[in-house]
């Protein structure tokens, strides 16, 4: 009787509502009801998640299907990781724009993902949709992994000691021209927007050294526009929406073709006019001389051009971000600029007129403090805050009951560990000296060769700004030469501080690399004495 009574009550309410229905069943109400239903079902599914999938890592709860935790992650990944770690530990999953990302924080996570087997994890499946429209077809992630390993070997032909010896004076010349003529630093003193200056300085120094004088000479306002259009296609959002019928995607595709054609022209001219000669001036020469795979197949000239675009694009974002952060930290602690200046005097010496001798590649190897400044900048500002792979078959996580299912992604964040008190004392402070006590010689470590040279076998380290394993960076030495030469020339030519208040800018995580929020400024004064 009670149950009947209860149902009648509900029925009564229901029937009253149905009679009044015409007043309430309108589109917004229907839509609201639908959204409510989807969210409720989604929340129910999350509640049942643990029961349904006992062998999965904990899933971070979210309100909006598909989007999941993308926004909280996208805006502040390290904060997001720290909050999740407090609740779930080092292993947890979150939904990001329809994909499930299984995060494994800390050195064990780095080893698990970066040393993952080819059969288990794929970088090309994770990245190709974003990178191929920007780099072009047939290279980096638009080809099987064994091809990428050989492309990295080909590129390394232009990243030798002899290459660097020839790059240093070219980079010095580009920096000096920039400090004399650019709108940013072209005066005797003033305020400069480093988030505008460093991308320009990076492309000039990288193209002059890696692509050679003729490509650098072709640089004009038109090519700058093309690089900017291409650059706009290299954004995290393109990871989610790689192709949309929108003008900005068409501009990206047009820029990729135009820049690739430009590099192709240079390759054709060199093949035509320098037949039989062997040059090793830059990356284009390096790859032209080394473009035959082990199985006898060759990179086409178009692919050589596209590989150059990919490598320049990668180096561009990482170096521009690192140099901006270094200038800001050195502006906040100008005492470090003086220590760097003294190191320049001590290592390079002065000529008969008392002028500092120009820096050479060998000098850079004798500058531990300059090296420490770069190393500390990369610790606090790892350009790539997240590295991930697509899981190709169920992946058990060692020493746990967890299995990462096929089709999910695994993600690591060395940037998170590098800024964590668990691994570095005063982890959030810029203290280059901390690296002077550390013996960074790597002769003790076991190494392995994936096809592009020896890399350390272990990836269980908290400090991995250049990654590890088969996808480890090949640009580390070039980056140190480029950044070391840029900062050496900066401290010789000027002194700088942060503007009033001296606060460092916030981090903009929404670009491809971790940038200072734009516009980030320094106040500079050119040094009087001729350096």
The DSSP result for 418-449, as a single string, is: HT-TTTSTTTTS--GGGGTSS----TTS-EEE
- Contact of 376 with 432, CB cutoff 8 Å: yes
Nearer to ligand X2N, 234 or 487 (CB): 234
Q: What 8-state DSSP symbol labels residue 357?
A: P
Least CB distance to ligand HEM at residue 315 (A): 3
- Contact of 307 with 299, CB cutoff 8 Å: yes
Nearer to ligand HEM, 260 or 318 (CB): 318
**Residue that is written with structure tokens 């380290």 in the block:** 461
Q: Per DSSP, which regions of 229-295 are E strands? A: none
State whether residue 460 is helix, strand or coil: coil
Nearer to ligand HEM, 348 or 419 (CB): 419
Nearer to ligand X2N, 337 or 413 (CB): 413
The DSSP result for 465-483, as a single string, is: TT--GGG--S-HHHHHHHH
Residue 75 binds which of ligand X2N, ligand HEM, none (CB < 5-8 A, kind-dependent): ligand X2N
Residue 102 binds which of ligand HEM, ligand X2N, none (CB < 5-8 A, kind-dependent): none
How far, in Å, are 10, 141, 190, 488, 512 from residue 386 at the CA level? 52, 17, 36, 30, 10
| Site residues, ligand HEM (CB under 6 A) | 123, 148, 152, 311, 314-315, 318-319, 322, 378, 383-384, 387, 465-467, 471, 473-475, 478-479
| Site residues, ligand X2N (CB under 6 A) | 70-71, 74-75, 127, 130, 140, 236-237, 239-240, 310-311, 313-315, 317-318, 384, 386, 473, 475, 510
Least CB distance to ligand HEM at residue 190 (A): 27
Q: What 8-state DSSP symbol labels residue 347?
A: H
Nearer to ligand X2N, 195 or 306 (CB): 306
Residue 474 binds which of ligand X2N, ligand HEM, none (CB < 5-8 A, kind-dependent): ligand HEM
Residue 133 binds which of ligand X2N, ligand HEM, none (CB < 5-8 A, kind-dependent): none
What is the Cα–Cα distance from 94 to 126, expressed in whole angstroms? 16
Q: Which of 162, 160, 180, 161 is nearest to 172 (CA)?
A: 180
Least CB distance to ligand X2N at residue 148 (A): 8
Pairing of strands 99-104, 395-396: unpaired
Least CB distance to ligand X2N at residue 469 (A): 12
Nearer to ligand HEM, 404 or 474 (CB): 474
Least CB distance to ligand X2N at residue 127 (A): 4
- Contact of 171 with 486, CB cutoff 8 Å: yes
Q: Which residue is nearest to ligand HEM (CB)?
A: 475
- Beta-bridge mates of residue 46: none
- Contact of 377 with 104, CB cutoff 8 Å: no
Pairing of strands 121-122, 387-391: antiparallel
Q: Rounded to the nearest 10 degrees, what angle do helices 194-206 and 301-332 cross at? A: 140
Residue 386 binds which of ligand X2N, ligand HEM, none (CB < 5-8 A, kind-dependent): ligand X2N
Residue 136 binds which of ligand X2N, ligand HEM, none (CB < 5-8 A, kind-dependent): none
| Maximum CA extent, the chain | 110
Residue 236 binds which of ligand HEM, ligand X2N, none (CB < 5-8 A, kind-dependent): ligand X2N
Least CB distance to ligand X2N at residue 277 (A): 28
Nearer to ligand HEM, 95 or 312 (CB): 312
Least CB distance to ligand HEM at residue 48 (A): 34
- Beta-bridge mates of residue 191: 523
What are the phi and psi torsion angles at 63 (to 5°)? -95, -45
Nearer to ligand X2N, 17 or 66 (CB): 66
Least CB distance to ligand HEM at residue 152 (A): 5
Question: Is 84 labelled as part of a ligand binding site?
Answer: no
Residue 286 binds which of ligand X2N, ligand HEM, none (CB < 5-8 A, kind-dependent): none
Neighbours of 300 (CB within 10 A): 14
- Contact of 416 with 80, CB cutoff 8 Å: no
Can you say which residues are annotated as belonging to the binding site for heme? Answer: 473
Can you say which residues are annotated as belonging to the binding site? Answer: 473
């Amino acid at each position: 009787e009670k149950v009947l009574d209860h149902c009648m009550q509900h029925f009564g309410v229901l029937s009253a509502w149905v009679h009044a229905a015409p007043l309430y069943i309108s589109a917004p109400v229907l839509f609201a009801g639908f959204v409510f239903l989807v969210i409720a079902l989604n929340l129910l599914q999350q509640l049942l998640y643990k029961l349904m999938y006992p062998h999965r890592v904990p899933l971070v709860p979210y309100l909006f299907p598909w989007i999941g935790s993308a926004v909280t992650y996208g805006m502040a990944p390290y904060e997001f990781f720290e909050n999740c770690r407090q609740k779930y530990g080092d292993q947890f999953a979150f939904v990001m724009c329809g994909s499930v990302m299984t995060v494994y924080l800390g050195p064990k996570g780095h080893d698990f993902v970066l040393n993952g087997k080819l059969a288990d994890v794929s970088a090309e499946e994770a990245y190709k949709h974003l990178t191929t429209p920007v780099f072009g077809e047939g290279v980096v992630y638009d080809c099987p992994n064994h091809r990428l390993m050989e492309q990295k070997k080909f590129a390394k032909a232009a990243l030798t000691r002899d290459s660097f010896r020839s790059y240093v004076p070219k980079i010095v010349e580009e920096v000096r021209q920039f400090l004399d003529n650019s709108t940013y630093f072209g005066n005797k003193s003033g305020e400069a927007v480093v988030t505008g200056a460093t991308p320009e300085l990076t492309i000039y120094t990288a193209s002059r050294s890696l692509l050679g004088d003729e490509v650098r000479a072709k640089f004009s306002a038109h090519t700058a526009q093309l690089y900017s259009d291409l650059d706009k296609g290299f954004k995290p959002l393109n990871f989610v929406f790689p192709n949309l019928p929108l003008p900005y995607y068409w501009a990206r595709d047009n820029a990729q073709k135009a820049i690739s054609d430009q590099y192709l022209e240079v390759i054709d001219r060199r093949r035509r006019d320098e037949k039989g000669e062997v040059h090793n001036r830059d990356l284009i020469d390096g790859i032209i001389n080394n473009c035959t795979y082990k199985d006898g197949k060759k990179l086409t000239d178009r692919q050589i051009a596209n590989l150059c675009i990919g490598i320049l694009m990668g180096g561009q974002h990482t170096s521009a971000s690192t140099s901006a952060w270094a200038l800001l930290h050195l502006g906040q602690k100008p005492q470090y600029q003086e220590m760097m200046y003294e190191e320049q005097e001590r290592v390079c010496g002065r000529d008969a007129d008392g002028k500092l001798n120009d820096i050479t590649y060998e000098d850079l190897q004798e500058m531990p403090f300059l090296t420490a400044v770069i190393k500390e900048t990369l610790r606090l500002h790892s350009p790539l805050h997240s590295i991930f792979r697509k899981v190709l078959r169920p992946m058990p996580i060692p020493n746990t009951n967890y299995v990462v299912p096929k089709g999910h992604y695994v993600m690591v964040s060395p940037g998170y560990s590098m800024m964590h008190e668990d691994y570095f004392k005063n982890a959030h402070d810029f203290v280059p000296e901390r690296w002077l006590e550390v013996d960074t010689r790597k002769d003790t470590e076991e190494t392995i060769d994936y096809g592009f040279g020896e890399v350390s076998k272990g990836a269980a380290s908290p400090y991995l700004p250049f990654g590890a394993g088969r996808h480890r960076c090949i640009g580390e030495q070039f980056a140190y030469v480029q950044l070391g030469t840029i900062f050496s020339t900066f401290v010789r030519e000027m002194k700088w501080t942060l503007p009033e208040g001296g606060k460092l800018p916030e981090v903009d995580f929404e670009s491809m690399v971790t940038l200072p929020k734009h516009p980030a400024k320094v106040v500079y004064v050119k040094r009087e004495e001729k350096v």
